[in-house]
Amino acid sequence: MTEKKSAVIIGAGIGGIATAIYLAKNGYIVTVFEKNSTPGGRCGQLKHDGYRFDLGATMLVMPAIYREIFESLGIPLFENTEIKPLDNLYKIYFDNNEVLTFSMDKEKMRVQLEKIEPGSFAKSQKYVSDGYEIFQIGINKLIGRNFDNIFQFANFRNVGMLIKLKTYISNWKYVKKFFHSSHLRMAYTFQNIYVGQSPFDSPALFSMVPAAELTEGSFFPKGGMYTIVEKLLAEAVSSGVSFHYNKPAAKIRVTGKKAESIVFEDGSEVMADIIVANADLPYVYRKLLPDKGKSRRLDRLKYSCSAICFHWGLDKVYPQLGHHSVFLSDGFREGLDRIFKDKSVSDHPSFYIHAPVRTDPTAAPDNHDSLSFIVGAGHVDRKKKQDWDELKRKTRIAVIQRLKQLGLEDIEDHIKFEISYTPENWEKACNISRGSVFGSLAHNLLQMGYFRPHNQHSRYKNLFFTGGSTHPGNGIPNVLLSAKLTAERILNN
Ligand SMILES: Cc1cc2nc3c(=O)[nH]c(=O)nc-3n(C[C@H](O)[C@H](O)[C@H](O)COP(=O)(O)OP(=O)(O)OC[C@H]3O[C@@H](n4cnc5c(N)ncnc54)[C@H](O)[C@@H]3O)c2cc1C
């Protein structure tokens, strides 16, 4: 009988847990080591005084990818669980208090869009159907596959594919071909921030994000997005994976062309046939591996933006807010420049609010509310140092001011407690390089597909990577695909 191979995984984020299941189901003895006391990483959860908050991810979008991956892991996700489609994806508020509710209901969309700009409903339909085609081509040819060599990515046939994927034009220039209204241009491009970039600099490929939302819908699991982590965790445990928390890796010990073991901060060491790093890839090269040349090269790459987040427990419910609300400031471009050029935050920021009590009353005590705010912010940059506590203070004032303008005059008086995260907090919480929580690496064309750092180390062939900073990128659907692709790479090795 052949002996079972062992795999150790650094990090119990979505990428680490999903990879663990694939390997355990294929005969590996798998052990996961997580630095924090709980799993989930950027899809973590916080409970306080009867309130519950999703710390990072709040939207379940691109459900077809979840379905595919969970089915392949043997987990029934949508069957018999309380994962519900939302009728309204999100409410978008503009500075003049004009509201546009992104909805699966086409008639509702038609009435709203025609009011903002006559003729824009048909344009929106075209933007969405073209964007959804881009999404499907992207899944088949770019996002959902491993690349073994550069010729598979940059070949003559793929030039046509890259043109179809609208990689030659910025998302902003592209949206201008559809809408005259600046509000509509903002509404159909702000989703670039999900992958940590500005629509002014990122390819129109990312028009696929609102297109996928408006085609496949947005879902929310009862219990919050952490339910996804719990489901993965339960399957991992029943497949024999063991988990160790409060166990930060300090070093990956290598000899010759092999990654031999993980050495932990407490001095203990674990040997394995295979090592998989779910921790942020540039961090792993910088802190856990000896090759400083590669780390310096990674340091010169582009990084996604970060976020200032507030979680408030309130003793009052504000029905004006929907489950997901997006506030887009008229200083949209200026705000993005403050984030991406100055590595700071706008004085009048665009921001997002998660109010899960609207669809899941278990997120707060009766007649109370749990609100989470995400405000795009620059990442930590040693050349553009910021006083993040001061920026957080200013951002809080700006957010409250905007809510007062909407009629939530007394909101400040009803905040019972606040928990907040700055880019520096994010960097520390999950070891994300520069606190670039939507990557960490940016998703420009030269950092995607074959050009994104590979999921197998080029020298230590038994060292693999999984998660948002390797192929295909950030966001839970991508991270789930990353786990599948990394597992395929390992199993075909
Ligand atoms: C504010 C915010 C909002 C978001 N919203 C959405 C959304 O609505 N929908 C969506 O799909 N996605 C969203 N995302 C993105 C999504 O949360 C991430 O893409 C995904 O959770 C990343 O998973 P991962 O496995 O790649 O990495 P992580 O979650 O970062 O997991 C890596 C794990 O490794 C651990 N680790 C690091 N260093 C070590 C070490 N030395 N030793 C041991 N363990 C270590 C970390 O603690 C962490 O648990 C959001 C992210 C943020 C931050």
Mean pLDDT, the chain, whole residue set: 95
Which of 17, 33, 43, 61 has most ligand 1 atoms within 8 Å of its beta carbon, as the pocket-test mutant? 43
pLDDT in tens, 424-482: 999 999 999 999 999 999 998 888 888 899 999 999 999 999 999 999 999 999 999 99
Residue 319 has pLDDT above 60, yes or no: yes
pLDDT of 450 = 83
The full 3-state SS of 231-280, as one line of letters, equals HHHHHHHHCCCEEECCCCEEEEEEECCEEEEEEECCCCEEECCEEEECCC
Other beta carbons less than 10 A from residue 250's beta carbon: 16
Q: Which atom of ligand 1 is nearest to the CA of 469?
A: 26
Q: Is the CB of 9 under 6 A from ligand 1?
A: no
Q: Is the CB of 281 under 6 A from ligand 1?
A: no
Q: Which residue's CA lies nearest to atom 13 of ligand 1?
A: 57
Q: Is the CB of 386 under 6 A from ligand 1?
A: no
CA distances from 120 to 124, 128, 463 (A): 6, 12, 50
pLDDT in tens, 145-160: 888 877 777 776 677 7
How far, in Å, from the CA of 40 to the mean position of ligand 1? 7
Contact 188, 175 (CB under 8 A): yes
User: Contacts for 329-337 with beta carbons within 8 Å, 24 or more apart?
Assistant: 329/95, 330/94, 330/95, 330/96, 330/182, 332/182, 332/186, 332/190, 333/200, 335/376, 336/198, 336/199, 336/200, 336/376
Q: Is 479 helix (H, G, I), strand (E, B) or coil?
A: helix
Residue 60 has pLDDT above 70, yes or no: yes
* Residue 493's pLDDT band (cuts 50, 70, 90): confident
Cβ neighbors of 265 (< 8 A, separation 6 or more) are 248, 249, 250
Torsions phi, psi for 238 (to 5 deg)? -70, -15
DSSP letter for each residue of 338-365? HHHTSSS--SS--EEEE-GGGT-GGGSS
**How does 383-406 read in b/e, with b if 16+ C-beta sit within 10 Å?**
eeebebeebbebbbebbeebbeeb
Q: Is the CB of 32 under 6 A from ligand 1?
A: no
* Residue 220's pLDDT band (cuts 50, 70, 90): very high
CA distance 371 to 46: 12
Residue holding tokens 């064309």?
A: 445
How far, in Å, from the CA of 391 to the mean position of ligand 1? 24
Q: Which atom of ligand 1 is nearest to the CA of 36?
A: 47
Tokens of 202: 């990122």
Q: Which residue's CA lies nearest to atom 38 of ligand 1?
A: 279
Tokens of 225: 């997005």
Cβ neighbors of 149 (< 8 A, separation 6 or more) are 450
Residue 114 has pLDDT above 70, yes or no: yes
Residue 202 has pLDDT above 70, yes or no: yes
Q: Is the peptide bond before 37 cis (omega within 30 degrees of 0)?
A: no
How far, in Å, from the CA of 227 to the mean position of ligand 1? 15
Residue 200 has pLDDT above 80, yes or no: yes
pLDDT of 305 = 97
Q: Is 384 helix (H, G, I), strand (E, B) or coil?
A: coil
Torsions phi, psi for 266 (to 5 deg)? -85, 5
Residue 163 has pLDDT above 90, yes or no: no
Contact 321, 355 (CB under 8 A): yes
How far, in Å, from the CA of 274 to the mean position of ligand 1? 22
Residue 2 has pLDDT above 80, yes or no: no
pLDDT in tens, 292-304: 899 999 999 999 9
CA distance 140 to 34: 32
Bridge partners of residue 420, in order along the sequence: 310
Sign, CA torsion 103/107/110/113: negative
pLDDT of 446 = 85
pLDDT of 201 = 93
Q: Which atom of ligand 1 is nearest to the CA of 482?
A: 26
Q: Which residue's CA lies nearest to atom 7 of ligand 1?
A: 57
Q: Which residue's CA lies nearest to atom 18 of ligand 1?
A: 475
Q: Which atom of ligand 1 is nearest to the CA of 426?
A: 53
Q: Which atom of ligand 1 is nearest to the CA of 16?
A: 25
Q: Is the CB of 471 under 6 A from ligand 1?
A: no
Other beta carbons less than 10 A from residue 104's beta carbon: 17
User: Contacts for 156-164 with beta carbons within 8 Å, 24 or more apart?
Assistant: 161/137, 162/445, 164/133, 164/134, 164/137
CA distance 286 to 395: 32
| Average pLDDT estimate for 92-111 | 96
CA distance 252 to 462: 12
Residue 165 has pLDDT above 80, yes or no: no
| Percentage with pLDDT > 90 across the chain | 88
Q: Is the CB of 59 under 6 A from ligand 1?
A: yes
- 102 versus 444: which is more confidently predicted? 102
How far, in Å, from the CA of 260 to the mean position of ligand 1? 26
Q: Note the pTM of the prediction, 2 decimals.
A: 0.96
Residue 1 has pLDDT above 70, yes or no: no
pLDDT of 141 = 81
Cβ neighbors of 178 (< 8 A, separation 6 or more) are 120, 123, 124, 126, 127, 184, 188
How far, in Å, from the CA of 413 to the mean position of ligand 1? 33
pLDDT of 291 = 83
Q: Which residue's CA lies nearest to atom 27 of ligand 1?
A: 13
Residue holding tokens 């508020």?
A: 93
CA distance 113 to 427: 40
| Percentage with pLDDT > 70 across the chain | 98
Alpha helix (H) ranges present in 341-442? 388-405, 423-430
Cα of first residue to Cα of last residue in the chain, in angstroms, is 21
Q: Is the CB of 435 under 6 A from ligand 1?
A: no
Q: Which atom of ligand 1 is nearest to the CA of 17?
A: 25
CA distance 87 to 155: 42
* Residue 144's pLDDT band (cuts 50, 70, 90): confident
Q: Which residue's CA lies nearest to atom 12 of ligand 1?
A: 475
How far, in Å, from the CA of 280 to the mean position of ligand 1? 9
Other beta carbons less than 10 A from residue 149's beta carbon: 9
pLDDT of 156 = 64
Q: Which residue's CA lies nearest to atom 48 of ligand 1?
A: 41
Which of 8, 14, 19, 42 has most ligand 1 atoms within 8 Å of its beta carbon, as the pocket-test mutant? 42
pLDDT of 364 = 98
Cβ neighbors of 416 (< 8 A, separation 6 or more) are 49, 312, 313, 314, 315
pLDDT in tens, 247-301: 999 999 999 999 999 999 999 999 999 999 999 999 999 999 998 899 999 999 9
